[in-house]
Amino acid sequence: MGHGWEGVVLKLFRGKDFEFTVTGTEEVTEHYRRVHVTDGGMLALTGVHPTMWVRLWFDHAGKPHQRAYTLVDPDPRAGTFTLEFALHDGAASEWARKAAPGDTIDATVQGTGFETPDPLPSRLFVIGDPASLPAVKSLLAALPKTPATIWFETQHDSDHDLDLHLDADLHELRTVERRTSGGQLVQEVRAALPGLLGDPADAYVWITCDTTTTRALASYVRKELSVPKHRVHALGYWRP
């Protein structure tokens, strides 16, 4: 399958293409699935960094469709890692539901990166949901001594069973049921964050929800709470 105009653009920006092969799958919950893959030589070439992600290419009604996914437990020596899918409607989730050992999928690495906040924040403020769970876990692992307050939006009862790999001594988890297309999450963050933030220049805010919610919260944090742009990471992970 060709990658269309998006693939051409990624090539112009020096995107590197690989083919992953499925070695196994796990059904974590009825709405969350893991797919284990070999990396086609990718990790030996690119190395690994926290929150590293790749673009996977899916067939959508005969047209190429790409979505980004964070690497879970990458092992450069073995050339393996895991991909985790919060299952919704769409080509990516359909592929994940049907994936079986021996299946292959095209991938492109372009645009991924991670810079440790400098100076380190006294506290992290993390806002995510099942789609961004791998990135949230990778972020917390990259800053293992930094306390964090995490707002985690849930859509299904089984989302409460997902393991965020939290340290009870460092991390405070606030689960929020998804209502009004993310409006409940925005409301709860706006109500609580000002009293927790402290010095905006000392904060680090990580926002990875659906695109609309992410934009609303990023604008609020930057404009109304005056958190400097370089101390805010905001990336919409999916569209409602």
Quickly tell me which residue has 């609020």 as its tokens. 220
Q: Is the pLDDT of residue 23 over 50?
A: yes
DSSP for residue 197: H
Contact 203, 227 (CB under 8 A): yes
- Domains by residue range for the chain, with CATH: 4-109 (2.40.30.10), 124-234 (3.40.50.80)
Measured CA to CA, the distance from residue 171 to residue 186 in angstroms comes to 20
pLDDT at site 11? 46
For residues 161-169, average pLDDT = 94
- Tens-digit pLDDT profile for residues 117-164: 999 999 999 999 999 999 999 999 999 999 999 999 999 999 999 999
Q: Report residue 34 CA to chain centroid gap.
A: 14
Q: What share of the chain is helix, strand, coil (3-state, %, to 5)?
A: 30, 35, 35
Indicate the pTM of the whole model.
Answer: 0.90
